[in-house]
């Protein structure tokens, strides 16, 4: 599957995308469809570990460089994820690069994911993201 199952959120040398979702969130379903059906997004998705976290379901997760135990509640608080979807994108070193409260359409997601993949490949520096987004018509 394109999306990671289970409660261990790891990088394994890839970027990580966490999406807070809820059972009534139509835009969360749309985002899943985008990942699956949009060719470019689908190709980029393979460079990331993607986790959907249902914010209504209390669970334990193991995440981060220190493999700390977190719960749905502590993660929601840490990322102030009130609305769904809420998309958090990390690089492979667990640096939070982007957070988007709300739905991001494919062109936005492709731009964010391309930048983070470029960071991994040493193409970009972390402080160049604003410039990159402007050049790509996002932001």
pLDDT tens digits for range 17-74: 999 999 999 999 999 999 999 999 999 999 999 999 999 999 999 998 889 999 999 9
Q: What confidence score (pLDDT) does residue 139 get?
A: 63
Q: What confidence score (pLDDT) does residue 121 get?
A: 87
Q: Rounded CA gap, 37 and 40, in Å?
A: 9
Q: Which residues contact 11 (CB under 8 A, 6 or more apart)?
A: 49, 90, 92, 93, 94
- DSSP state for residue 2 in the 8-state scheme: -
pLDDT tens digits for range 71-129: 999 999 999 998 999 999 999 999 999 999 999 999 999 999 999 999 988 888 888 88
């Amino acid at each position: 599957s394109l999306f990671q199952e289970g409660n261990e959120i790891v990088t394994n040398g890839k970027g990580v995308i966490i999406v807070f979702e809820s059972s009534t969130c139509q835009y969360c379903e749309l985002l899943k469809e985008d990942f699956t059906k949009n060719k470019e997004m689908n190709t980029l998705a393979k460079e990331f570990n993607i986790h959907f976290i249902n914010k209504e379901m209390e669970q334990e997760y193991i995440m981060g460089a220190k493999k700390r135990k977190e719960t749905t509640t502590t993660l929601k608080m840490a990322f102030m994820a009130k609305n769904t979807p809420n998309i958090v994108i990390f690089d492979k070193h667990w640096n939070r690069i982007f957070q988007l409260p709300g739905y991001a359409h494919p062109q936005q997601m492709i731009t964010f994911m391309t930048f983070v993949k470029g960071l991994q490949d040493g193409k970009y520096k972390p402080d160049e993201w604003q410039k990159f987004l402007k050049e790509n018509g996002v932001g």
